[in-house]
Amino acid sequence: MTGPAETPAHPTTTEDVPSTPGWVEGSVEAAFATLPCSGPGVMVLRNAYLDCLANAPRTEDLDAAHDRCRQALLKALAAREKIGPEALRAFETRLEAVEAEISARI
């Protein structure tokens, strides 16, 4: 017999887990579409960035939290996907716009 104490907890769609509003994912997806690369590795980084935004503490400076998420993403894209500085800067500008919109709507 298996009971709740023996079953590991897994979030479901009915549980409260951090997430970004639906429009954020679409905006981030549009920004990622401008990158000169794609594939599973880029999708992993995109998902990690969205998770980071969703978990940004609302009690501290939200802009600082977003900045940490963005900088980690840019560093990973440069290292893993070899994206050049010009493409990264244009991409960063798009992400900053999304982050500013998140801050404005909270």
Taking only the tens place, the pLDDT of each residue in 58-84 is 766 888 999 999 999 999 999 999 999
What per-residue confidence (pLDDT) applies to 9?
46
pTM over 0.95: no
What per-residue confidence (pLDDT) applies to 80?
95
Residue 70 makes CB contacts below 8 A (sequence gap 6+) with: 49, 92, 95, 96, 99
- Above 70 in pLDDT, residue 34? yes
The DSSP secondary structure of 49-97, one letter per residue, reads HHHHHHT--TTS-HHHHHHHHHHHHHHHHHHHH---HHHHHHHHHHHHH
- Above 60 in pLDDT, residue 8? no
Residue 37 makes CB contacts below 8 A (sequence gap 6+) with: 81, 83
- Are the CB atoms for 100 and 29 separated by under 8 Å? no
What is the C-alpha to C-alpha distance for residues 29 and 91, in angstroms, rounded to an integer? 11
Domain spans, the chain? 22-104
- Are the CB atoms for 48 and 73 separated by under 8 Å? yes
- Above 70 in pLDDT, residue 5? no
